[in-house]
Structure 1
């Protein structure tokens, strides 16, 4: 089976990390097209995956989640779709891994007469996207042969927006557990290197974005003078102003000696094991929440906002703790509970790790994906598959 994978970005965000694990078993005879160069291309090359960069003009690159789509961008989009369609002639089908890639891929699929699988990693609602982006998503959903979703919450939002329920398959993100299993737990040495002492350390991981709620975390720490904080991640998609806002908030709240912003890091397993607690702080519904599972794999108690994907990952009070999104006092309460009850926290962390190992393994994901691809495309009948939930 020869697959043409398409993704709009080469940054290592959640959807792109998922793509890395999806592509690898299909790398022989397949290819990835990216619309920019960056760390993802380097990771793909390292895994011996064929990659091609097709750079669109600036008009298309400048489209943001809440912006309009000008005519210049539409013209660029059509040109890009033609380029992808030319490549697609040599493959069995197109696998689109993002919204922009999905729109371009369905256009290319029509030009090249190829089926399209769209892997949706976003909750499609007005909290996350503007009217133009939601309109494009409706079109993409209507023209996609099959749609994969990363959570029930993502699927529900898709159904509300588009009414589509057929040929829609739930495939949770999966994880390579080796980096978490093999990482030596040199917590004290790592803390000392980072400039922290033995006081409780809470870590927040992920891209810096207003809806990810790192500012909620800072307000929470301002109420917990005996707790230190670690924020790991960098801004993407034009959100640099938010990173500057966080730096200012740290100063305003007097947290300079207790909170560190590390920016983008590749040693996530090591850093997570350095922390006592992993916190997820999104204020809008999270499509999935990779850092939640990574925290569980690290053997640390995980606290997450109770909205979207986290509800499907965590059993509250058993494998982690959930709290009301955006409520800094609620976050302070659950963090304090974990800190003050270390034996219960350890048991919860152990249960969380076992759950993550069982539910989000690469083997399970690959078998699920392979079944869908085999049934739907090897027989060259794109309407063969029924709904999968």
Structure 2
């Protein structure tokens, strides 16, 4: 039975919990002061941390503890860190769990063994032990002459007062699994109390946790607030008209309540940053005024925190780093009035308030608080927010910890506090990689999937070879950037349709075998097979199974009955479950669909938004629009609406033609060709143009290499798909071309477009609505200018190529490394 206690309750240990104390509850027995053997009275220091798998809130505390004791040795249940810069390059001494099966991904499943594991760490050679504990670290065995100081982020919350909430959210309220879980938690509580007696001095990360420590262990504790890197956040005085919340999307964070509240306030705008298991539930509650941005890098989070009028926080946190970070940007906070927020936010009872509280975790309470905030009854000054945040800086934490340990252990001579260093942005140097990748694609045409794959393989540091199942412009583009290409004969797959109605004949089967042999031959020299499209995935998966090479599928489809037939879905399902090592989805919509179909575990799936280079667009920035129109034979002074994709019914070009009937002063420009046996649809489009005498207002440009020039030649870029689009590359390109974008409200588009801010959304297939939006854009130049400005910022900050390529390459490297370790 799988018992992922912490993961099921709080997500991937990305909690941010930290310190507190007032000395031990009982006066220790007087004893002779121990003689310290190191020169100048310096103690031998060991630092114990629960587990080292990521860099989150608890690890920020650990980083500053190490700064205070730079010569200390590190101990942990497991250490699977890749970036260990915050440990100053140190490696931890680990327990036997480090070598157990699947420990790297499923270490939390071994929680019942962790009390035993932590007790096996030998600390007998140290004078001062500092544990950083939210689970088991404080349980290390120490002797009577050793001083053990435990910085407690929280007693094991899911074993104590939050047990019932954890069991309910984990569906463990009844049955044998529930009984087993309750027995384990009972055992953990008994062990937790017993081991508290071996701690000489407790530190809590807040008064809230100090009360929890006293309740559980009957011990007092010194409060030292956890460190926040306040220096990385810049004060901004000018705020904009939107609210922000940011968090990992797990149940106790209550992001769904915030989204539900703003769904009932359509006049208020909310931006949500973060990702996690609750993403689908939260996205389902979002209304047009709520933008779900998903995971974002620091610079995007920072920018949103600076600009937001207020930060909304609904969790009962032990501390709550994000609340302090928002105030460091000069942004006031609207928070649930319980837990650590009561200590980090100053309400109206203070002379210089930095936020306000709501009394219950309900949508209505959040609505009431936002209404009160909007009323202006309280005045919040950005400078006051910043000043309050500075109470929690790294330097304050180090000084408090150093002073406290000096007071409680005067027999030790501690190293001096480190001098605060100026932050210097490191110069990034590209290091070579010995990763060998075989990239496989079914097409020779340059569609969106191929363009996105091209961006990856041409920028990857390792050695990349490519196999295509058809010849064409894609092969030429790959060779132009120095990628080795082999073209196999894939004509036998040309008639395979997504609806699965094509019956396999002997010629098709023999063709598949030829493709398999060719791919298999190339795969033997690769560390990982990177497959880019659905048909290529099937061939690549079988080749990987035979050659014992891991296969990563870059999923660029929504694998649902709307897009695929039952046979195709069955093939996708079982190939994914049995033959693929990892899946990269290009949007949350694609990820949700493949998860629903295959029940793929979270650790085997990543969402990586496509990255699109701005260079082709900036290269022609100075070219006048009339020159570009002349290049493509387009009318100089007409209002041109562009549609950029292959000609296919589900892409919805007919919707734009129907809208054109209601927009007599506009022209439509279609860039793209019928690529996959969709010539009949192209004929229908041309027949419609002829029937309605639109020939002078409709321009079919066919396939074009220079998409940037085509887009800059039009006035508006439309995306007209009548089915959910897996991503929507053309939308990003439209934003980069500095043209307003109108897109269908479905699928991956929702990851890109914020309606009314960086683009406009319309109902899929609704020609009348599309016509109204186009007329509105034509008559409203300020609206066009605003959409262009925000769209460009959105495209360059969120969908750049560097982050995209680095993310894909990191996944491929991780998969190859796991495969090598398995032998």
TM tier, smaller: over 0.9
**From 149, 162, 186, the counterpart of 2:624:** 186
Deviation at 1:246, TM superposition (A): 0.8
Pair 1:340 & 2:787 matched: no
Alignment partners' CA distance in 1, 2:806 and 2:492:
39
Deviation at 1:75, TM superposition (A): 4.5
Query: CA 1:342–1:377 in 2, change beyond 3 Å: closer, same or farther?
Result: same
**From 146, 159, 164, the counterpart of 2:595:** 159
Name the residue aligned to 1:175.
Answer: 612
> Are the equivalent residues in 2 in contact too, given 1:95–1:119 (CA < 8 A)?
yes
Pair 1:272 & 2:711 matched: yes
Alignment partners' CA distance in 1, 2:463 and 2:774:
49
Task: After superposing the two structures, state which structure 1 stretch, 350-359 or 189-198, moved more.
Answer: 189-198
Task: After superposing the two structures, state which structure 1 stretch, 6-15 or 77-86, moved more.
Answer: 77-86
> Are the equivalent residues in 1 in contact too, given 2:437–2:527 (CA < 8 A)?
yes
Query: CA 1:61–1:253 in 2, change beyond 3 Å: closer, same or farther?
Result: same
Pair 1:61 & 2:500 matched: no
- Give the SS at the match of 1:111: helix
Name the residue aligned to 1:304.
Answer: 743
Name the residue aligned to 1:292.
Answer: 731
Deviation at 1:186, TM superposition (A): 1.3
Name the residue aligned to 2:68.
Answer: none
Pair 1:283 & 2:717 matched: no
Query: CA 1:29–1:185 in 2, change beyond 3 Å: closer, same or farther?
Result: same
Q: Deviations over 1:59-94 (max 9, x none)?
A: 433212222341523443244223312221111111
Q: Deviations over 1:192-247 (max 9, x none)?
A: 45241423111111100000000010010111001111111001110011111111
> Are the equivalent residues in 1 in contact too, given 2:586–2:608 (CA < 8 A)?
yes
Alignment partners' CA distance in 1, 2:646 and 2:611:
19
- Give the SS at the match of 2:747: coil
Name the residue aligned to 1:209.
Answer: 648
Pair 1:230 & 2:669 matched: yes
> Are the equivalent residues in 1 in contact too, given 2:550–2:819 (CA < 8 A)?
no
- Give the SS at the match of 2:746: coil
Deviation at 1:268, TM superposition (A): 1.2
Task: After superposing the two structures, state which structure 1 stretch, 76-85 or 362-371, moved more.
Answer: 76-85
Alignment partners' CA distance in 1, 2:542 and 2:814:
24
Alignment partners' CA distance in 2, 1:311 and 1:348:
16
> Are the equivalent residues in 2 in contact too, given 1:153–1:287 (CA < 8 A)?
yes
Task: After superposing the two structures, state which structure 1 stretch, 136-145 or 185-194, moved more.
Answer: 185-194
Deviation at 1:371, TM superposition (A): 2.4
> Are the equivalent residues in 1 in contact too, given 2:540–2:551 (CA < 8 A)?
yes
| Higher Cα Rg, which structure | 2
Alignment partners' CA distance in 2, 1:377 and 1:140:
19
- Give the SS at the match of 1:80: helix
Alignment partners' CA distance in 1, 2:710 and 2:727:
21
Task: After superposing the two structures, state which structure 1 stretch, 207-216 or 140-149, moved more.
Answer: 140-149
Alignment partners' CA distance in 1, 2:752 and 2:634:
32
**From 122, 125, 145, the counterpart of 2:581:** 145
Alignment partners' CA distance in 2, 1:139 and 1:43:
33
> Are the equivalent residues in 2 in contact too, given 1:27–1:49 (CA < 8 A)?
no
Structure with the greater relative contact order (CA < 8 A, sep ≥ 6): 1 or 2? 1
Pair 1:218 & 2:657 matched: yes
Task: After superposing the two structures, state which structure 1 stretch, 185-194 or 314-323, moved more.
Answer: 185-194
Alignment partners' CA distance in 1, 2:493 and 2:713:
41
> Are the equivalent residues in 1 in contact too, given 2:550–2:815 (CA < 8 A)?
no
Coordinate RMSD, CA, aligned = 1.6
- Give the SS at the match of 1:378: helix
Task: After superposing the two structures, state which structure 1 stretch, 194-203 or 360-369, moved more.
Answer: 194-203
Query: CA 1:60–1:231 in 2, change beyond 3 Å: closer, same or farther?
Result: closer
> Are the equivalent residues in 2 in contact too, given 1:150–1:288 (CA < 8 A)?
yes
Alignment partners' CA distance in 1, 2:801 and 2:764:
30
> Are the equivalent residues in 1 in contact too, given 2:758–2:791 (CA < 8 A)?
yes
Deviation at 1:15, TM superposition (A): 0.6
> Are the equivalent residues in 1 in contact too, given 2:455–2:611 (CA < 8 A)?
yes
> Are the equivalent residues in 1 in contact too, given 2:460–2:809 (CA < 8 A)?
no
Q: How does 1:131-142 map to 2 (within 5 A)?
A: 131-142=566-577
**From 97, 110, 124, the counterpart of 2:545:** 110
- Give the SS at the match of 1:338: helix
TM-score, normalised relative to structure 1 = 0.94
Alignment partners' CA distance in 2, 1:83 and 1:266:
29
Superposed structure 1 runs of 4+ greater than 6 Å apart:
none
Q: How does 1:66-81 map to 2 (within 5 A)?
A: 66=499, 67-72=501-506, 73-81=508-516
Alignment partners' CA distance in 1, 2:815 and 2:589:
24
Name the residue aligned to 1:39.
Answer: 473
- Give the SS at the match of 1:103: helix
Query: Number of aligned pairs?
Result: 382
Q: How does 1:257-268 map to 2 (within 5 A)?
A: 257-268=696-707
Query: CA 1:382–1:65 in 2, change beyond 3 Å: closer, same or farther?
Result: farther
Alignment partners' CA distance in 2, 1:293 and 1:239:
25
